[in-house]
Chain A
């Protein structure tokens, strides 16, 4: 399922026996438990409020516009002027997909792993600097 996982364990100083595949599945049970607890807490808070608040049904209100009347719905196609930043971000986000597993093998693979990763990052940073020169991070 996850080969890199064993690598990570091996390095874990002072850890007990390396975990098997089984633990990997088990380890998400606490996450579900926590999600359940949160759901219970939030629902409980809503229930408490429903019991004590002035009147249970919500009030229907106009949206706040500093005292003026609304003339249209606010939900609209938003002018995302930092659109170029989102694309740059996507490039780096894909890079992170490589960087997380890379972290586990640096010590094993040695110098080549570091050189390859930072050469790759240098290319991306060059792209960032180019985008910066083109004004991608300024939009006003």
Chain B
């Protein structure tokens, strides 16, 4: 009896989802499909068995995806989802690949053979992996300390599409940060572009349901980063419901209940208060600290939940706001520890699809 295949068929897949610039629509479709199937989303390639890529292909991103692919232990399958329509089909196909035990064994043997050949070629490595030890540099107090280079993104869960924040860490404090965007830059933001997906009937980006869905998308990402998966998952469910052509009955009440629950969380406030404070020169969307920013998202969500409310809600962040947010990231994260840096980025939530050909300023 093939126990391996039997176990594999019972396993629930765990997907590592990477979003390219221009892939927000595909990501929403994938997240929805993964949620409805009861699959899990991986935090890192080590625990994943599916690599799901949302959005258009790009040479630089592809190289990174190949690296992530190589970090997945296997059994493994890869699904490309360039547009929202193909999400379900691509996931079905990837699942079938995953269950093909014979092909998975061939893949595993191929990797082991390649690894043996590389080892046999014998580049005489002084250090394991051919890597050097960490170098030292001065910290803010003038101490010479080891420095680690850690890139946040682009292949990172709950992270803006295509953003790669190249950081230098001492301990877990970000000493230097530089913004780099990976991927194609033409096209426009998913949230401001006219809808072309069959799921949404309303083409107007100013419609309160669209702005609320955009705010919910940002909020669920922040909630995941803040370590509150239950609230984040509920946020995703409500976001998907808002993007349906017809709102179901009771959606408004449910949105209000969810927003109230998040707003009342003292622990969440405590985690985000005082983080990434931005002055009055910045666009209105970004002002204040992280708590102020997510509170404004909740306002937008609650506005959409009001019955009979006219379409007077503010439009989602435009390209000016997105560029400002991107430019603010390096100076705000330097000197913060990793947990705070991730919350700051999630609260600024730069829409990398809206920045166009804008080149981010060199980092701090």
Contact size range, B: 35 or more
| B139 A62 Cβ-Cβ under 8 A | no
Q: Which residues of the other chain, B, contact A53 by a CB distance below 8 angstroms?
A: 4
Q: Is A65's CB within 8 Å of the partner chain B?
A: yes
Name the contact of B173 in the complex, choosing from A67, A69, A73, A81 (C-beta under 8 A): A81
| B4 A72 Cβ-Cβ under 8 A | no
Rounded to whole angstroms, the CA-CA distance of A136 and B336 in the bound complex is 17
Q: How far is the CB of B73 from chain A (nearest CB, A)?
A: 5
Interface centre among A53, A63, A64 (most CB of B within 10 A): A64
Q: Which residues of the other chain, B, contact A79 by a CB distance below 8 angstroms?
A: 139, 145-146, 170-173
- Determine the residue in chain A with the shortest Cβ distance to B146: A76
Q: Which residues of the other chain, A, contact B104 by a CB distance below 8 angstroms?
A: 54
Rounded to whole angstroms, the CA-CA distance of A51 and B170 in the bound complex is 42
Q: Which residues of the other chain, A, contact B134 by a CB distance below 8 angstroms?
A: 72-77
Q: Which residues of the other chain, B, contact A67 by a CB distance below 8 angstroms?
A: 18, 61, 64-65, 67-68, 151, 153-155, 164
| A59 B146 Cβ-Cβ under 8 A | no
Q: Is A60's CB within 8 Å of the partner chain B?
A: yes
Name the contact of A73 in the complex, choosing from B67, B75, B111, B132 (C-beta under 8 A): B132
Q: How far is the CB of A139 from chain B (nearest CB, A)?
A: 8
Name the contact of A72 in the complex, choosing from B115, B132, B145 (C-beta under 8 A): B132
- Mark out the residues of chain A between 47 and 97 whose CB falls within 8 Å of any chain B CB in the assembled complex: 51-55, 57-81
Q: Is A27's CB within 8 Å of the partner chain B?
A: no
| B71 A61 Cβ-Cβ under 8 A | yes
Main secondary structure of the interface of B (DSSP, over half): mixed
Rounded to whole angstroms, the CA-CA distance of A57 and B70 in the bound complex is 16
Interface centre among A57, A67, A69 (most CB of B within 10 A): A67
| B148 A64 Cβ-Cβ under 8 A | no
Rounded to whole angstroms, the CA-CA distance of A60 and B112 in the bound complex is 9
Rounded to whole angstroms, the CA-CA distance of A21 and B250 in the bound complex is 70
| A57 B146 Cβ-Cβ under 8 A | no
- Determine the residue in chain A with the shortest Cβ distance to B157: A66
| B73 A66 Cβ-Cβ under 8 A | no
Footprint of B on A, CB under 8 Å?
A: 51-55, 57-81, 140
Beyond A78-B146, A81-B171, 20 extra complex contacts between A and B, CB < 8 Å: A55-B105, A60-B115, A61-B46, A66-B64, A66-B150, A66-B156, A67-B61, A67-B68, A67-B151, A67-B153, A68-B151, A68-B166, A73-B129, A75-B134, A77-B134, A78-B171, A79-B145, A79-B172, A79-B173, A140-B336
Name 28 A/B residue pairs within 8 A (Cβ), A-sorted: A51-B3, A54-B75, A54-B105, A54-B108, A55-B105, A55-B108, A59-B108, A61-B70, A62-B70, A62-B129, A64-B46, A65-B150, A67-B18, A67-B61, A67-B64, A70-B131, A72-B135, A72-B148, A72-B149, A73-B129, A75-B133, A75-B134, A79-B145, A79-B170, A80-B171, A81-B173, A140-B336, A140-B337
